[in-house]
Amino acid sequence: MKTPVFTGLATAIVTPFGEGGVNYPKLAEIIEFQINGGVDAIVACGTTGESSTQSLEEHIEVVDFCVRRVAGRVKVIAGAGSNDTQAAALLSREAEKSGADALLHVTPYYNKTTQRGLVAHFTHIADSVSIPVILYNVPSRTAMTISAGTYAELSRHPNINGVKEASGNIPLVAAVISACGDDLYVWSGNDDETVALMALGAKGLISTSANVIPAQMTELTHLCLDGDYAGAARLLYKYLDLMEKLFIEVNPIPVKTAMNLMGMDVGELRLPLCGMAPDNLEKLKAAMRAAGLLPEGIT
């Protein structure tokens, strides 16, 4: 039996960029906004943090900064995934040196692999460190899915703690929770599926929407932890349109746009990500306005 890295809410935070690279004073503000919102953990350098356009050095520095700024107040989970197993292991070791509480590892993308290759890839990484590893299943980005059998095999590794499940395959999640129990924990990787997955036994959510509504998403996950799924569902319905519009274009384009509209000044996106199409921007603004997030004077 393993202990979950966290229960409740982890926010996959954006990385604020400026002309000279990462805007660390702004990153500190983002971290404080999340902690003040009551989150249980912060994920640095995940998909939402635009890790794919960070150099190895920059990636390592961002994780190190987050660990030092958080200073043990909540858990820090370091995104360390790569389609290069050796690079993933390197990022993992560096994150452990910095004091990260756990690692987040996406399935290899572009070159992909087989299920046997997934076992070898994740086992090599988990053998390289002594902190927990959370797998990340997001076939919409990687074009591959972790099978139930692979989950079961990986659950036997003492350092593999669980998975961020963003496949949208609820029967797969149910099968994994049923088969693996306390040997492999599940966290929702899709904000709008949180209540459903937690009702099945997931331990919480790794969220994008929490970048703009951390307190609300914290409340939602904790209602689920308390068994109040009806109350959690009501809160989900209240913000469902906002969650949808935060993914109207590829993440993190909408959420960074939303944060800038809120006056958080998180900077630009790095190419190949770019600004929103005008019609989608208006839809995002409408959802933010309905949720009470759009400041007065912004039309």
Instruction: Specify whether 136 is catalytic.
Output: yes
HEC string of the chain equals: CCCCCCCEEEEECCCCEECCEECHHHHHHHHHHHHHCCCCEEEECCCCCCHHHCCHHHHHHHHHHHHHHHCCCCEEEEECCCCCHHHHHHHHHHHHHHCCCEEEEECCCCCCCCHHHHHHHHHHHHHCCCCCEEEEECHHHHCCCCCHHHHHHHCCCCCEEEEEECCCCHHHHHHHHHHHHHHCEEEECCHHHHHHHHHHCCCEEEECHHHCCHHHHHHHHHHHHCCCHHHHHHHHHHHHHHHHHCCCCCCCHHHHHHHHHCCCCCECCCCCCCCCCHHHHHHHHHHHHHCCCCCCCCC
Instruction: Specify whether 164 is catalytic.
Output: yes
Q: Which of 26, 75, 151, 164 is catalytic?
A: 164
Q: Which of 75, 136, 185, 239 is catalytic?
A: 136
Active site amino acids: 136, 164
